[in-house]
Every structure is written in structure tokens, then in C-alpha cells.
Structure 1
């Protein structure tokens, strides 16, 4: 979700795993490994975004959700609309929404991963919800009959 590009996401996961292995001594036994790994992933992503912007002179990150086929299942169409709307959010809101609503992490866990106060997480989510509420209702794909094909 962060990269919005499958290949970039795969590279990000590989880099995260490599860094986790390199820093295994820093992991505190008894703590949640998923949060530790997400923290590494987030730091790695931010570093990559900053480096890419420097290389490209402030350019945008890659990624555009595309739908295959003329007849897509209703749930995929609705999901794509939601993803486009979330993708349009500023990066800080988008990553907060992803961690809280997609990954299902608590506000405290999200704050720890993003290294921000819980109040900032709450504010970002509230602002994102208000922005998403400005959109018109999701549009269903009209059903076609066999004769329409």
C-alpha cells in the first residue's frame, strides 16, 4: 500500500528483511516482532522516498491502481474506488490509514511505528475521514445483460 507498485513493494519487503537480519541484535525479546518489522519497513520506505525525490528533483512516487477487464466483480470495482480515494490523501494520512484500518493496528502501535504521538495519529485519521467523506457515494457498475455484450 505504501508504494502502490507491486515491484517496489517486493523490493521494500526484501530490504526490510535484510535490515532486520543485520539488526537482529537490536530486537528486544518478548516485544512484538511485527511492530519492529513495520518500523524498519516504514523507515526504509521514507528513506527511499526521500532519495527518489532528490534523484528526480522532487518527483512523485510510482503507482496507479489499474483494473483489468471490462466486467469486473462489483467488490473489486468498489475496492478500486476506495483505493483511489485513499491514494489521493497526503502521504502521512495515507500511511496512517493503512496501518490503522488495513493492518488493524492500534493507535498506540501506529504511533510507535510512525514515531509520532498518539494524538497525531488520531488527528491524521480524523482529517483523512473528513476528506474521504467529501467524495460522492461509491458507484456500482451497472449490470449488463447477455444481449449487451
Structure 2
């Protein structure tokens, strides 16, 4: 009985301290943690100034978005590991024509120094990034993730010459 009472007092004290500090638990769907759905990701990117189209659902394919940056750059965005319309991951990618001889040395060096992943597929260079959404995400984190992908994209394009 004494152990239960001590635990209750400790828990109450911690709750009181959080409330006193002005802190609050994250609320899914509220201003802090967003549900990891196609619609919420699209709304967050739209609010940040991107033009977003939710692509029509295709059987046996992950949901995807077509995103256009304020500068007119196209970004492919797709969500994966979705169950009941809630997804565990969002990925985004940029692409450029590779030409006749892709620079594999550039790709290897890039992948050793950046978190974005560069590769060649179908005669194009691709630069991809992923963000884990399991349990929800904050709008600020999603927007910053997209900004970092675009910053890396600018650096990668400069390396391509």
C-alpha cells in the first residue's frame, strides 16, 4: 500500500510540474503532433507555400503527391507502410537527366557525405530523402525536412554542373 501511495504522489508531482511549466502533452491532430495521413502531409506542405496535388489512389501502390515548389521545381512525394490511411514514412525525390555517362564517382562521394541518397535510374539522376512519420509528426519538422531536401538538391545540381 505504501509503494502505491508513493507512486501516486510522484506521478501527481510530475503532472503538477509539467502543468506549472506551461507544458502540455502532444495532442494528435492538434497544433503539435499531426496524424501521418496523405491529407495531413498535403495540407502541411500547402500551408508552407508548396502547390500540392494528391495523386489518385492506385491499387497496390503507395499514396503519392505531386509537389511544386514556389520556384517551380517538381518534387515527387510518396507515403509508405500505410495501414488504415495512416503511414509510417514519407519520402521525396528530385531528378535530373543523367546524359550518356553517369558520374558514379560523384554519386559515391555524395552518398558518403549527405543524408539524401543519390542514384541513377532510367538515365536520370535521383536524389531521395525519407522521414519517419510513425506516431505522427510536427508541421515544423515536415517543412524543415522538405527545405533540407531542396537545399541538398541545389547543392547536387551544382555538382552536376
Tell me which interval the TM-score lies in, with the shorter structure as reference length.
under 0.3
Report 1 or 2 for greater relative contact order, CA contacts < 8 Å, sequence distance ≥ 6. 1
Higher strand fraction: Structure 1 or Structure 2?
A: 2
Normalising by the residue count of structure 2, what TM-score does the alignment of the two structures yield? 0.25
Normalising by the residue count of structure 1, what TM-score does the alignment of the two structures yield? 0.27
